[in-house]
Structure 1
Amino acid sequence: MHAPHFTTDASSNGIRERDFTVGGVPGILWSPASGADRAPLVLMGHGGGHHKKHPAMAGRAQRLVTGGGFHVAVLDAPGHGDRPRSAEDEREIAALRGAQAAGEPEGPIVVRYNARLAQAAVPEWRAALDALQGLPEIGADGPVGYVGIGLGTAIGVPLVAVEPRITAAVYVCTWPDVLIEAAQRITVPIEFDLQWDDERIPREASLALFDAFASKEKTLHANAGMHLELPRFEADSAVRFFVRHLGGAVAPAA
């Protein structure tokens, strides 16, 4: 097992931020600055074309740390952030940009590309979880949750399906085409966010993915708006969700 190799360590506004690598994969760990007691760990997967420190990740991490007292870890997905793109990455991205420019369906390209990235990323996440649970402030027996946005959901559904240490998950909708079978193997509590007027992902497809989860407790949050208009208050809902299922205490939003 690789231990996390920390390369930076800084604290501000009650949050400790540490860059790390595990087996050459770069990540970031946000934690309560006090660091005195053990706290649950929440893993987060970023959206396609984004990276571990994207504002969507940093903002959610801040709420999870200050609002629930959690540790929060994000890895750069293959070909994203500080990781080099392969020739295949470049071909897929060029095909996606071409389809968008021509007004052609982008779903088939994104589904294919995300499935390939997920195949590589799932074992990376499991290795990172091994390493992070070796830290005394997290521990091998501590509860673990997962948040996925877009590509992070495409990675997170197959990850949660095979990783018994993750006991609750929040997903923001993505193309579901190849995720149904994995979703049918997930029984942990789920909170699922979709945009009712999403211009990119058909509503019926997102509803089919939600229906596929075998969880006895699953909650659908359907908000009016387009693909990139997920309301900010859903981040606060995720904090309350993880407090219920992982432990911790909800602090008021700043």
Structure 2
Amino acid sequence: MQSLQFSAESSSNGMVVRDFTVDGVPGVLWSPASGAERAPLVLMGHGGGNHKQHPAMSGRAQRLVTGCGFHVAVIDAPGHGDRPRTAHDEAEIAELFRARAAGEPEGPIVVRYNDHLAELAVPEYVALLDALQELPEIGTEGPVGYWGINMGTAIGVPFVAAEPRITAAVFGQHWPDMLAGKAKQITIPIEFDLQWDDEHISRDAGLALFDAFASKEKSLHVNSGKHKELPRFEADSAVRFFARHLGGAVTAAA
């Protein structure tokens, strides 16, 4: 069993929120305040520069927990949130800011850095899943999904490609470099988000990553707008997607 330790617990809005560490990596688990003894689990990955408690994470968790009765968990990515930055992290972030200030493309730097983070984070997500499935309220029999956009996709694609316990996933908004080969190994149902006017990721790049997935059931959701303008209603669509594939009815709370 992996070393899962809970450090704090609170309840609000129909959810029990528990902070934890697994092998020293900090995370948070959202669970229904009441309901079935066993329920599906959705693992999430946060975006670059964000953290496990970012409003996007807690908002998605609220939809999945109160709307579907699921458990939801996320951990801080390496160099993010409550985890210290290494000299490598600092150098890559400085290079990103330099390129941004100079009006140079950010993609090559982000792709390279995210690939490095994924190498570290994928084993951590495997350890997280191992540990959570030891909990009696989750167990090993229930279905598991993954939801990650941007850097969450950079980490999630290689994780899902290597992890047969994941049965449905939501990805989006990333370059195909470093990910297309892993995407070709994924055959589970996926939903994929793409911004048509993304100033960083070209339409061709976004479509190439979507096309690479070998899934027989895959849905492309394209919206007008820039990189950070992904409509909030796509979160509701993702909740319905997980309800279909993991089991559960979406209530009005979602």
TM-score range, shorter chain: over 0.9
- Residue 162 in 1 paired to residue 178 in 2? no
The aligned amino acid for 1:230 is L
CA contact (8 A) 1:3 1:132 kept: no
Shift of 1:36: 4.5
Q: In the TM superposition, what whole-angstrom CA distance separates every residue of 1:162-217 from its partner, at most 9, and x where no partner exists?
A: 00000000012112211000000000000000111111111100100000000000
2:34 alignment partner in structure 1: 34
More displaced 10-residue stretch of structure 1: 64-73 or 86-95: 64-73
Identity of aligned residues (%): 75
Shift of 1:13: 1.2
1:98 alignment partner in structure 2: 98
Question: Aligned Cα RMSD in Å?
Answer: 0.9
- Distance in 1, matches of 2:5 and 2:253, equals 32
The aligned amino acid for 1:169 is A
2:18 alignment partner in structure 1: 18
Q: In the TM superposition, what whole-angstrom CA distance separates every residue of 1:22-64 from its partner, at most 9, and x where no partner exists?
A: 0000000001011542110000000000000001111111111
SS at match of 1:43: strand
SS at match of 2:8: coil
CA contact (8 A) 2:35 2:69 kept: no
TM-score (norm 1): 0.98
Where structure 1 has 5 or more consecutive residues not aligned to the other structure, the ranges are: none
2:44 alignment partner in structure 1: 44
- Residue 173 in 1 paired to residue 173 in 2? yes
- Distance in 2, matches of 1:115 and 1:70, equals 29
- Distance in 1, matches of 2:57 and 2:151, equals 13
TM alignment of 1:1-254, pairs within 5 A: 1-34=1-34, 36-253=36-253
TM-score (norm 2): 0.98
SS at match of 2:49: coil
CA contact (8 A) 2:45 2:151 kept: yes
Runs of 4+ residues over 2 Å off in structure 1: none
The aligned amino acid for 2:161 is A
- Distance in 2, matches of 1:95 and 1:59, equals 31
CA contact (8 A) 1:20 1:28 kept: yes
SS at match of 1:20: strand
CA contact (8 A) 2:167 2:189 kept: yes
